[in-house]
Amino acid sequence: MKDRRNWLKANWDELEAQGSDQQRRVAYPPLEQPGPAATELIELPPVAELQMGTMPLAEAIARRESRRKWSAEPVKLAELAWLLWATQGVRSVPASGAATLRTVPSGGARHTFETYLVVQSVVELEPGLYRYLALSHRLARLRLQADIGEQAGEACLKQRTVSRAAVTFIWSTVPYRAEWRYGVAAHKMIAIDAGHVCQNAYLGCEALGLGCCAIGAYDQGLVDKLIGVDGEDELAIYACAVGRPM
């Protein structure tokens, strides 16, 4: 490990001197992965109409903790919609079209994440894999799969917190969105950004009377396969199991 750190340190100036595609005037990458073809798109309740998440912020911060035991009561679609907005919701797209401004901060507003949902127990949604289309606040249904929760639990090193969660958020990153601007420094930005997203999940869950647990322990190859990404241009980076706490 130390060898790798030392290698990076020794070569940092040279790596940084290579610059970024933005400096080379390469066109900016898409803000979102294209919606999959021939899939069902599900309109989510508009955020402006959701009367929830009104707990005082100080209370949500004071109550926040990792929760790992879930009751059988499902999560409502409106609650899920609100959490998706709280973690990745798009507030605006600046006129340049090169970035998005969202409910969470992101280095250079690069916002490299996509949100996949392992749905087990959400009212109005059949169990399966979904992806949040943040730009249009919709869900794309990727596939129905009755045992998706078990599969996700296996991929997360057999954690019951995941296999029994009502819904698990899995965030992937498309590194090039940040590399385009930051070159070799992009990966630090991406890791920091992931923390902001999950913290909003924690505070949002508290505010709704739900609970969640950050999940960083997982098998990279299995989770990438589960959500259908190649592990190169897009890879899983972080997850969060959500449910109604016991």
Ligand X SMILES: Cc1cc2nc3c(=O)[nH]c(=O)nc-3n(C[C@H](O)[C@H](O)[C@H](O)COP(=O)(O)O)c2cc1C
Structure-block tokens of residue 36: 């999959």
Tokens 């009104």, located at residue? 54
Report the nearest approach of ligand X to the CB of residue 225 (Å): 18
Report the nearest approach of ligand X to the CB of residue 238 (Å): 7
Q: Which amino acid is at 3?
A: D
State the Cα–Cα distance between residues 176 and 186, nearest whole angstrom.
8
Contact 129, 225 (CB under 8 A): no
217 binds ligand X (CB under 6 A): yes
Report the nearest approach of ligand X to the CB of residue 67 (Å): 8
Longest dimension (CA), the chain: 55
Assign residue 221 a region (left: φ > 0; alpha: ψ between -120 and 50; beta: otherwise). alpha
Closer to ligand X by CB, 68 or 76: give it. 68
Closer to ligand X by CB, 42 or 235: give it. 235
Structure-block tokens of residue 46: 């508009």
Q: Which of residues 141-160 bind ligand X (CB under 6 A)?
A: 159
Closest residue to ligand X, Cβ-based?
Answer: 216
Closer to ligand X by CB, 41 or 61: give it. 61
State the Cα–Cα distance between residues 192 and 104, nearest whole angstrom.
11
The string over 208-246, giving b where at least 16 C-beta atoms fall within 10 Å of a residue's C-beta and e elsewhere, is bebbbbbbeebeeebbbebbebeeeebbbbbbbbbbbbe
Which one, of 136, 120, 140, lies nearest residue 128 by Cα? 120
Report the nearest approach of ligand X to the CB of residue 198 (Å): 7
Report the nearest approach of ligand X to the CB of residue 55 (Å): 18
Report the nearest approach of ligand X to the CB of residue 24 (Å): 34
Q: Which of residues 175-214 bind ligand X (CB under 6 A)?
A: 213-214
Closer to ligand X by CB, 135 or 217: give it. 217
Q: Which of residues 58-117 bind ligand X (CB under 6 A)?
A: 65-66, 68
Report the nearest approach of ligand X to the CB of residue 130 (Å): 22
Alpha-carbon Rg for the chain, nearest whole angstrom, is 18
Count of positions on this chain that bind ligand X (CB under 6 A) = 10
Kindly tell me which residue out of 104, 215, 227, 240 binds ligand X, with binding defined by CB under 6 A: 215
Chain residues that interact with ligand X, rule: CB under 6 A: 65-66, 68, 159, 161, 213-217
